[in-house]
């Protein structure tokens, strides 16, 4: 186990409180590595041998490295920047005399009770007036708040099946009556502006508990937002390491937890827009672009369900995965995962050659599977795609758990992927060119 990998991931998780912070953290690392930031609303002047990145909405990011003008195709790894949470409504303070509570609504599908009785923080972004400009600024407010449970003496059935009501049970306590109006004041102070200069915001409650490594041999780690920032981090580490004669592409998409159907989500044109601009920037035409797509491969990296120690019956008897046993390839006959036999074969062979262990996952046949970005992207960009992930426990809890060794397995497997160029000799026949 590489303790540096674990601590690096935990630092990234704690820095990436929201999708906006995750993209900012990734952009900071890319710039430090020599990548040039591009604006979508400006002309791109690209050069072979260099790396670039662009963002959309401040919550999605695509980075790429062009090895040469006559590259073979695109080697792409996509993950997502968002996690289940609670979003503050625009008018956040609720009326009340003795308490100040905040009005929230659910974002994605969190396990509701895991958000109660634990320290929470407010983070996100705000749009502020700066002279004649409107600027986006990240928000990370100091101080904690909490969603208190009802005592068992007042709800004797709480351990017999409690279904929290989103409008009454999941409201955070911000402060006492003396704190009225303080949230807006604190927000303005943190941004260095007057309250009237705050024109809009996207603010969320996030778990403020720090990540930890535990187990008798330090084999597990727990933190908020492991799904899917663990994949985002490991893919970024691999992106920095891998080289081939195809364009390496790293993607971080927002809004996967709510269906991806936004301008910055996986259903959008963001990825195809970027790929086409790369191709035009290298002086290549549409016919050649279609050929390059046939020699391209995409990894949709979104975490997988490990066998639960208390409920092993929740998993398929044969197609199941465990913590610290390797990268998970996910398949579903209903098409909720993009993996097919060809994609699984290609990616599995790359991992075998790299010495990175692979596990297989499929849901029980009587239990519907979740969905990922892979199917969203291939609906408008036809490339061979495999859905993979890191095995984890308590997916969509506010504090999730995964295996430390799997971090290095994922970095090794994805670095090998980025160091491989895939040639489609014919439909269903592939040659792996390893660097």
pLDDT in tens, 190-241: 999 999 999 999 999 999 999 999 999 999 999 999 999 999 999 999 999 9
Please tell me whether residue 230 adopts helix, strand or coil conformation. helix
The pLDDT value given to residue 367? 87
For 353-364, the pLDDT digits (tens) are 999 999 999 999
CA neighbor of 300 nearest in space, from 326, 272, 331, 334: 331
For 324-357, the pLDDT digits (tens) are 999 999 999 988 899 999 999 999 999 999 999 9
Q: Tell me what the pLDDT averaged over the chain comes to.
A: 96
Contact between 231 and 79 (Cβ < 8 Å): yes
Mean pLDDT of 162-176: 95
Residue 349 zone, left/alpha/beta (φ > 0; ψ -120 to 50; rest): alpha
Does position 369 have pLDDT exceeding 80, yes or no? no
224's enclosing H/E stretch is none
Does position 81 have pLDDT exceeding 90, yes or no? yes
390's enclosing H/E stretch is none
Residue 262 zone, left/alpha/beta (φ > 0; ψ -120 to 50; rest): beta
The pLDDT value given to residue 316? 95
Q: What is the largest CA-CA distance in the chain?
A: 72
Q: Which two tokens stand for residue 302?
A: 């979104």
The pLDDT value given to residue 323? 98
The C-alpha atoms of residue 325 and residue 398 are separated, in whole angstroms, by: 24
The pLDDT value given to residue 161? 87
Q: Tell whether omega for the bond before 228 is within 30 degrees of 0, i.e. cis.
A: yes
Query: Which alpha helices (H) appear in 38-123, and where do they start and end?
Result: none
Mean pLDDT of 170-177: 95
Per-residue pLDDT band at 370 (split at 50, 70, 90): confident
The pLDDT value given to residue 27? 98
The pLDDT value given to residue 1? 58
The pLDDT value given to residue 244? 95
The pLDDT value given to residue 368? 81
Mean pLDDT of 270-291: 96
For 263-279, the pLDDT digits (tens) are 999 999 999 999 999 99
Please tell me whether residue 381 adopts helix, strand or coil conformation. coil
The C-alpha atoms of residue 327 and residue 338 are separated, in whole angstroms, by: 16
State if pTM tops 0.75.
Answer: yes
Question: How much of the chain exceeds pLDDT 70, in percent?
Answer: 100
């Amino acid at each position: 186990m590489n303790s540096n990998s674990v601590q690096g991931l935990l630092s990234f998780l704690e820095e990436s409180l929201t999708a906006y912070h995750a993209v900012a953290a990734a952009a900071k690392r890319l710039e430090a590595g020599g990548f040039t930031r591009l604006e979508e609303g400006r002309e791109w002047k690209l050069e072979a041998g260099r790396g670039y990145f662009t963002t959309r909405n401040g919550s999605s990011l695509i980075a790429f490295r062009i090895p040469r003008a006559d590259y073979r195709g695109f080697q792409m790894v996509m993950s997502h920047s968002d996690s289940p949470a609670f979003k503050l409504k625009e008018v956040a303070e609720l009326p009340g005399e003795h308490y100040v509570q905040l009005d929230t609504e659910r974002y994605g599908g969190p396990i509701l009770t895991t958000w109660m009785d634990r320290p929470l923080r407010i983070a996100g972004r705000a749009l502020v007036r700066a002279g004649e400009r409107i600027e986006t600024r990240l928000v990370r407010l100091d101080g904690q708040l909490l969603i208190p449970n009802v005592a068992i003496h007042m709800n004797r059935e709480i351990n017999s099946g409690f279904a929290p009501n989103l409008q009454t049970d999941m409201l955070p306590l911000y402060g006492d009556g003396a704190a009225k109006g303080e949230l807006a004041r604190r927000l303005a102070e943190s941004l260095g502006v007057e309250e009237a200069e705050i024109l809009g915001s996207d603010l969320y409650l996030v778990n403020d508990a720090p990540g930890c490594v535990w187990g008798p041999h330090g084999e597990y780690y727990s933190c908020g937002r492991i799904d899917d920032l663990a994949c985002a981090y490991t893919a970024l580490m691999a992106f920095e390491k891998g080289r081939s004669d195809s364009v390496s592409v790293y993607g971080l998409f927002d809004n996967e937890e709510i269906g991806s159907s936004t301008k910055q989500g996986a259903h959008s044109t963001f990825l195809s827009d970027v790929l086409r601009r790369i191709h035009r920037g290298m002086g290549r035409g549409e016919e050649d672009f279609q050929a390059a797509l046939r020699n391209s491969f995409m990894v949709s990296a979104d975490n997988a369900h490990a066998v639960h120690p208390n409920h092993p019956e929740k998993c398929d008897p044969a197609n199941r995965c465990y913590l610290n046993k390797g990268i998970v390839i996910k398949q579903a006959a209903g098409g909720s995962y993009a993996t097919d036999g060809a994609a699984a074969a290609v990616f599995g062979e790359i991992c075998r050659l790299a010495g990175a262990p692979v596990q297989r996952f499929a849901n029980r046949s009587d239990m519907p599977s979740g969905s990922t970005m892979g199917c969203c992207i291939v609906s408008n960009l036809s490339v061979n795609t495999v859905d993979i992930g890191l095995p984890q426990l308590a997916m969509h809890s506010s504090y999730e758990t995964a295996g430390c060794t799997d971090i290095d397995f994922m970095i090794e497997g994805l670095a090998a992927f980025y160091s491989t160029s895939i040639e489609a000799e014919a439909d269903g026949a592939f040659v792996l060119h390893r660097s």
